[in-house]
């Protein structure tokens, strides 16, 4: 039987939003929910906040698990959304923000990164810039190398956080199409301390490379950044990357270009707490965009999700990833999805 050395609970795309019933947003919210490309503005689901809290209270080993957040903490990047998210993740929400529910994880920022929505201007306009950026002081400055997590002996686990939206201009097409751009960011990440012997290094990266393979023109990663990412994974000897962005979970081994030297597991969380609804109608305004039909199919089959990762030792050290979805029984929060667990050797 393998020995569990560490447990990681991975959440993403929380999309905290506080909708003022007196504002215009109450009228536009139903529309955003029916357009797959921009439905992230419809906000968080109060039931999912409670389910996530229940899961951390009841899942075996959760009290000792590390919490990872792979971006899109907010819906439109407003100061108030960051405030509500910080309150929920670090302590608990109280009326009128929430019904005394929270994760009580004051150190949640240690392994968190921003997503593209966290760069929005603070209103539901997509384009533009918020000055100063409300995430400053809430999310860590990327790129960064986390504190080491002891695994026993001389072995440690460390997370390397990269902002996959760092090079996106506030008024550009990449902002509107949610396309990741981070060539300069990855170059800065190369200046961080090199991996030490006995260290397992995991990349935190909001955009999903799996998505980019199927729809590179929208909601993915630009080609230059994808090439830079592949080179970074290879040269940094990273075997696991944790992602979000696309609101459906997947765990798969990436097919990197020949000569990469080793396999890389991408574990994509999906959305943990955003409202998930099926569209009644679909706007034709975006039908011309590449990948639109595939986004519609994904949108119609979504479910909230989180991932549980374990570092296990059985002769060698392996990383195992499991997908959890909302439990059918009340009070359990999330349960194993029934999809196969995926694991990869990470050391030596």
List, as one string, the DSSP characters of 21-89: TTSTHHHHHHHHTT-GGGGGGG-B-HHHHHHHHHHHHHSTTGGG-EEEEES--BSS--HHHHHHHHHHH
Nearest Cα residue to 218 out of 118, 288, 290: 290
**Higher-confidence position of 204 and 19:** 204
- Cα dihedral: 240, 245, 250, 251 (round 10): 0
DSSP, collapsed to helix, strand or coil, labels residue 325 as strand
Average of per-residue pLDDT across 161-168: 97
| 302 confidence band (pLDDT: 50, 70, 90) | low
Report the C-alpha gap between 4 and 171 in whole angstroms: 46
Q: What average pLDDT does the chain have? A: 85
Report the C-alpha gap between 260 and 131 in whole angstroms: 40
Q: What is the pLDDT of residue 270?
A: 93
Model confidence over 186-228: pLDDT tens digits? 999 999 999 999 999 999 999 999 864 444 445 689 999 999 9
Model confidence over 35-56: pLDDT tens digits? 444 445 567 888 999 999 999 9
Strands (DSSP E) along the chain, which ranges?
3-11, 66-70, 112-113, 144-145, 149-152, 155-162, 199-205, 240-243, 250-253, 265-268, 306-314, 316-326, 334-336, 342-347
| 278 confidence band (pLDDT: 50, 70, 90) | very low
User: Is the pLDDT confidence value at 158 over 90?
Assistant: yes
**Higher-confidence position of 27 and 141:** 141
Answering whether pTM is above 0.75, one says: yes
| 66 confidence band (pLDDT: 50, 70, 90) | very high
| 284 confidence band (pLDDT: 50, 70, 90) | very low
Q: What percent of the chain has pLDDT over 90?
A: 67
Nearest Cα residue to 260 out of 310, 209, 220: 209
Average of per-residue pLDDT across 168-176: 93
User: Is the pLDDT confidence value at 291 over 60?
Assistant: no
* Least confident stretch, 1-10, 143-152, 182-191, 294-303: 294-303
325 Cβ contact list (under 8 Å, min separation 6):
303, 304, 305, 334, 335, 337
Nearest Cα residue to 281 out of 304, 303, 299: 299
User: Is the pLDDT confidence value at 32 over 50?
Assistant: no
Number of domains the chain contains: 1
* Least confident stretch, 146-160, 198-212, 238-252: 198-212
User: Is the pLDDT confidence value at 95 over 80?
Assistant: yes
Nearest Cα residue to 239 out of 111, 345, 162, 315: 345
| 303 confidence band (pLDDT: 50, 70, 90) | confident
Domain harbouring 310, CATH code:
3.60.21.10
Which domain covers residue 335, as residue numbers?
3-347
């Amino acid at each position: 039987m393998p020995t569990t050395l560490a447990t990681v609970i991975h959440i993403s795309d929380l999309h905290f939003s506080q909708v003022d019933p007196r504002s215009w947003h109450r009228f536009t919210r139903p529309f955003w929910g029916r357009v797959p490309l921009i439905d992230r503005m419809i906000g968080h689901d109060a039931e999912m906040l409670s389910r996530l809290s229940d899961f951390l209270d009841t899942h075996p080993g959760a009290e000792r698990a590390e919490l990872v957040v792979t971006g899109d903490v907010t819906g439109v990047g407003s100061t108030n959304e960051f405030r509500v998210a910080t309150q929920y993740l670090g302590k608990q929400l109280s009326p009128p923000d929430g019904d005394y529910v929270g994760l009580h994880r004051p150190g949640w920022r240690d392994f968190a990164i921003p997503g593209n929505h966290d760069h929005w201007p603070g209103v539901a306009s997509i384009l533009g810039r918020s000055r100063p950026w409300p995430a400053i002081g809430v999310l860590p400055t990327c790129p960064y190398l986390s504190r080491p997590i002891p695994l026993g002996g001389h072995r440690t686990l460390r997370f390397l956080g990269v902002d996959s939206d760092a090079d996106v201009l506030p008024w550009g097409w990449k902002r509107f199409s949610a396309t990741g751009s981070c060539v300069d960011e990855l170059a800065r990440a190369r200046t961080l301390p090199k991996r030490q012997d006995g260290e397992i290094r995991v990349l935190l990266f909001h955009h999903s490379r799996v998505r980019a393979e199927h729809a590179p023109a929208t909601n993915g990663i630009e080609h230059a950044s994808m090439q830079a990412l592949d080179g970074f994974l290879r040269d940094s000897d990273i075997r696991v990357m944790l992602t979000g962005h696309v609101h459906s979970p997947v765990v798969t081994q990436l097919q990197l270009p020949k000569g990469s030297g080793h396999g890389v597991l991408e574990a994509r969380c999906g959305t943990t707490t955003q409202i998930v609804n099926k569209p009644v109608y679909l706007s034709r305004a975006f039908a011309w965009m590449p990948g639109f039909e595939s986004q519609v199919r994904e949108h119609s089959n979504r479910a909230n999700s989180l991932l549980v990762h374990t570092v296990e030792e059985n002769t060698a050290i392996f990383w195992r990833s499991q997908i959890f979805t909302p439990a059918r029984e009340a009070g359990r929060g999330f349960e194993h999805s029934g999809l196969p667990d995926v694991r990869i050797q990470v050391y030596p």
